Structure 1
Amino acid sequence: MTLPLLVVTAVAAEADAVRAGADPDHVVVEPVGVGPAAAAAGTARLLATGRYQAVISAGIAGGFPGRAPVGSTVIGLRSIAADLGAETPDGFLTVDELGFGTSVLPADPSLVRSLIEALPDAIPGDVVTLSTVTGTAATAERLAASYPQAVAEAMEGFGVAVAAGSLPFAELRTVSNPVGPRDRAAWRLKDAFAALSTASGALWKACG
């Protein structure tokens, strides 16, 4: 029997958008909570109570200007915990630089290739995971400089990747707003949810 694909989102609205486009016979979609800790715990619970062929962290995201415009779809090549580390007088040190582990988890290469083939208009690149969404130009510029391959920021990917362990993992996001000063009125949530539903239609094609 072919195992289903597990797709986890942060909130119910994202899960509904994925379900609207995904194959319900082969794709299980569940919201697991906001932030890397909730995402890791929720994903681990699902993996402990069911069998799946792969895990995808999906939802909406902020896109880095000049890299992933609003309305676009991105495929994460790596999920990076961009605020996991320590502040110092000389700047931020990642957990890698501190010698306490890694802040970078790569997506499964085969799964990424299949997603790129199924979604040829999607933008591949790194997705940074943050516990605090960027709301200033200064933070956006620092992140863009620190992670030159990053195309988007979200809040769950790294946590889902940790929980996935040896199971194939990837991150799929649609961009609702630019990374930078917080302007909720300018967010295009409806467009991002619609793009998420469209992209989700390709998930089983990529993984089945």
Structure 2
Amino acid sequence: MAETPASVADAGPSVTAGLLVVTAVPVEAEAVRAGLTDPSVTVAPVGVGPAAAGAATARLLALAEAAGRPYQAVISAGVAGGFTGRVAVGATVLGDRSIAADLGAESPEGFLPVDDLGMPPEVLGGGSDLPADPALLAGLRARLPRATVGPVLTVSTVTGTAASTAALTARHPTAVAEAMEGYGVAVAAAQAGLPFAELRTISNPIGPRDRSAWRMREALTALTAAAAALG
């Protein structure tokens, strides 16, 4: 595995060259860039959902390696929904794990994660639950001491009913946020042998879909503030 950028791991003043920060959409990328002080950090919007984000991230990593300027770490950043009672709207979240929350199968006993379906490990791509790089996460925690740390779920369908919220909360009792890209980006980073972490700011509570309750401006402002930890 490539080394974690030293200045992140040591909570130093900036990030060394070689950090790739990916977001889903351009407005998130703009918010991240607005908070950076190190121009060597690359920020790129890679699309919505785990498939688009994973494929685009893998392509960026491969192109950089082929050009002789490989990235040294990858961070998935953007806004997310937060679990009520665990994290507040406008807060910053650091994912200690990125979990593919809807990758698996239904059964009479309930949802079965893909890891429990009896497939050989080599076809699971590391499984549905990928941990953040410990050194990279430690550096971010040191620079963002007020951030809430916990699992961030990756879903292909955003949770929008009371029933689905209750089921997801029961399956993941320590999860703090839900987004749509982190796991895909984590898989791309793992395949490239690179450290990975996930940084999110909360725009809305997870639950019955209510756009009037979303605070996107506040979440993007918080994302800009948090990006200062990246360099």
* TM-score bin (small chain): over 0.9
Match of 2:76 among 57, 65, 69: 57
What root-mean-square deviation, in Å, do the aligned CA atoms of Structure 1 and Structure 2 show?
0.9
Residue in 1 aligned with 2:137?
112
Residue in 2 aligned with 1:86?
105
Instruction: Output the TM-score relative to the length of structure 2.
Output: 0.86
Percent identical pairs in the alignment equals: 66
**3-state SS in 2 of match to 1:131:** coil
Kept in 1, the 8 Å contact 2:17–2:41? The answer is no
Question: Which structure: greater strand fraction?
Answer: 1
Shift of 1:137: 1.1
Deviation per residue, 1:27-62 (Å, 9 max, x gap) = 100000000000100100110111111000000000
Deviation per residue, 1:66-108 (Å, 9 max, x gap) = 1011010000000000000011122111101112331100000
Unaligned runs of 5+ residues in structure 2 are 1-15, 65-69
Higher Cα Rg: structure 1 or 2? Answer: 2
For residues 162 and 3 of structure 1, what CA distance do their matches in structure 2 show? 22
Shift of 1:24: 4.4
Matches within 5 A, 1:21-170: 21-50=35-64, 51-100=70-119, 101=124, 102-165=127-190, 166-170=193-197
**3-state SS in 1 of match to 2:111:** strand
Residue in 2 aligned with 1:199?
226
Residue in 2 aligned with 1:12?
26
For residues 131 and 58 of structure 2, what CA distance do their matches in structure 1 show? 18
For residues 191 and 99 of structure 1, what CA distance do their matches in structure 2 show? 43
Give the count of matched residue pairs.
203
Unaligned runs of 5+ residues in structure 1 are none
For residues 188 and 3 of structure 1, what CA distance do their matches in structure 2 show? 33
